Each structure stands twice: as C-alpha cells, then as structure tokens.
Amino acid sequence: MTDETKISETTQKDVVCKGCSGKLQFAPGTNRMKCPACGMENEIEVSTVVLEELDFEKFVNEFKEDSTTQEVATIKCQGCGAQTTFNPNVVSDACPCCGTPLVVKNATTTHHIQPKAVLPFAIDQNKAFEDFSQWIKKLWFAPNKLKQYAQQKDKLSGLYIPYWTYDSNTSTDYTGERGDDYHTTEEYETTENGETVTRTRTVTHTRWSFVTGHVDNVFDDVLVVASNSLPKEYVEKLEPWELENLVPFDEKYLTGFKTESYQVDLKEGFEDGKGKMNEVISNTICQDIGGDHQRILTQNTVYNNVTFKHILLPIWISAYMFKDKVYRFMINGRTGEVQGERPYSAIKIALAVLAAAAVILIFYLLGKN
C-alpha cells in the first residue's frame, strides 16, 4: 500500500502568522496556533465534519491512492525503524524514539492512509517536563546520569503516534465445561500432644459438565497502536485516551511537532484488534457458562460490520542511551501519565546491599551483647 521515491526536502505545509509572517506552531491546551516570533495567536477553525468510520472489507479490497490517502515525507530511522516527519526547513534532527541522528536527504515520500482524526496536545512541554522530572525522582537506584539527563527540557520531544481503531459486532459459538462445586465431610487422623486423634474436615469437589452456547458482543473504538518502534507494553499503559475529544484531522495541530507514520498496516492491526476483542469475548463466554469454574474448549467467532479509522494521539517522548542500550520515556500528551523503561545503577544497588548488611550486623552484635 506504499509507493516510495527519494526526495530532497520535506513536504509539510507551512502555516504563516497573520501578524509578522512567521511560522506558527500549535499551542497545546488551546485551539490556537501561536507565533514564537511575535506571540500573535491565530484561531484554528474546527471542522464540523462528522467522524465517520470506514468499511474495513471494502477499503481493503478497493484501496487506491485517492482522497483517502496522503503523500507524506518521512525519514526512516536506521536505529529503531521509526518513520517520522521533519519540521519545515529542518535539514537534520534526532529520532524521537531512540535519539539516532537523522538527515533530510534520506527522506522519502510515501502514500499512506490519511488520518481521520487527531487528539491535540493538551499539556505543553513545561508541564510534561515537570511530570517527567517527578517520575524520575521516584526511580530508586537510577543512574546519576539519568537524573542529570532529566534536567534538560530540550530532550523532551512532542510526537504524534499512529493508531487504528476498530469497531465490530461479533457472533461466537462455543463449547466448554461448567464446574460446580460441592462439599463433603471426611475424617482424618492427626497427632496432638503425642496422641493420634481423629478429626473431620470439609473437602471441596468440582462436578464438571459439558456445555455449548452462543454469545454476541459489540466493540467500539478498539485501540491498536500502529508503531513498532516504541515498547508496546509501555505505550498501552498510557491509556486511557480521551477519544471523545478527537477532532477531524487538520495539519495545523501537527505544526511544531513530529509525527510518526504507521508501520503496522490496516490488516495486521485488525489481527491485533482481534486479540483484544477475544479477551472480552472469553470473559463473556465464562459469564454465559456460569457455575463456579469454566473451561472454554472451542470458540468460533464471526466479525460482522467491521469498520475502522486512522487516528493520531499525542505523546511527549525522550530517549536516553545508557551502556549501549536505548531507554524510552513517554508521557500522555493529554493526561500527563508517565511510562517508560529505566536503567539501574549497579553501584547504587551494591552500596544499598552493603548498607543493609551492615545494619543487620550491627543489630546482631547489639543483640548478642
């Protein structure tokens, strides 16, 4: 679904200040663009277009480079594989996902499915940096270099990451087993005060019976991150997202920020989405089986009325290199939730172990005396 050609400059559109003709940037937490040169703010006219889902099967079968796609200038990082955009007239930068140097001459244009909606940044770099610093302070045994790194606000970059959302009505036939507990009383012998005595106790047993059934589920906006360059387990911990605040896609919200292009395509993303749906379906089946215990033997699910949309969600991100390994820290650009990988200082851990051992030894000696 892509067609790449080499280019020598970015294609991101400039937005010009009405006051001084400077380049505007989106101001997080507002619906305005602000000029860093003169401070003038220009209002973003919010589209009244209703956010409609696209038919999944129809789109996959009829995909073509038309109004549903856009041509995007991206630079692929050789370090982590992330594909991100450059800001206008920037000729070199660093990958926001791992810190690897990037140059614009390595950029390509790619036809991608155009985002349907965007969730604009609600917290600015100052607030994100404050949340990030507080998080770093709580990390026990973090290297001193990490805490020094966390004092550099410019290491924090604003990035829109790609997501798919899927809707579906599911119909599932299943077979399984229902376990119902029952209790019996049994005698047993034990030794008390040197004598053998007989006692009774209650024992729980489970009676299993074969069952079949059918359940239906309705799924709305199942989120699937479409990036392979960020640690998925931490990205998902940034949830929940305020999807009710999504606005129709407008490039004005992207100005001043980097944007990552999706690496997980539409069909691959739906397979991930099925995995999330199946967890819910399994819970529904267990509720339908009832009893005290449940075993699911088979489940056959049909996915009906599948629709999707491509959206961009905001994070503040920082990449830190420690002993030849990259650690990523991410902040939800709406809520300030911080997640990330972290290194440990072997020296600090060793000193803590020695200090604990010394305290134990002191108490032992005091106890003997």
Q: What is the pLDDT of residues 318-332, one digit of tens each?
A: 877 666 667 788 899
Structure confidence by residue, pLDDT tens digits, 57-93: 988 887 755 546 655 556 666 666 666 665 544 444 6
Among 174-183, 190-199, 340-349, the least confident range = 340-349
Q: Is the pLDDT of residue 101 over 80?
A: no
Cα 334 to Cα 29: distance, rounded to the nearest angstrom: 9
Identify the burial level of 342 via C-beta atoms within 10 angstroms of its C-beta, where 0-12 means exposed, 13-18 middle and 19 or more buried. middle
Give residue limits of the domains in the chain: 5-174+211-352
For residue 120, the model assigns a pLDDT of 94
CA distances from 288 to 7, 207, 220, 284, 294 (A): 57, 17, 21, 6, 10
Give the percent of the chain with pLDDT over 90. Answer: 36
What's the confidence (pLDDT) of residue 142? 62
Residue 147 parent element (H or E): helix 144-149
For residues 346, 352, 356 and 358, what is the CA-based torsion angle, rounded to 10 degrees?
90
Model pLDDT for residues 102-148, shown as the tens digit of each residue: 655 555 566 678 889 999 999 998 888 888 777 777 666 565 666 55
DSSP, residue by residue, 163-231? EEEEEEEEEEEEEEEEEEEEEEEEEEEEEETTEEEEEEEEEEEEEEEEEEEEEEEEEEEEEEE--SSS-
> How high is the mean pLDDT of the chain?
80
User: For the chain, what percentages of helix, strand and coil (3-state, to nearest 5) are there?
Assistant: 25, 40, 35
Would the pLDDT of 232 be above 70?
yes
| Maximum Cα interatomic distance, the chain, rounded to a whole number of Å | 98
At 244 the pLDDT is 92
What pLDDT is stored for residue 47 in this prediction? 77
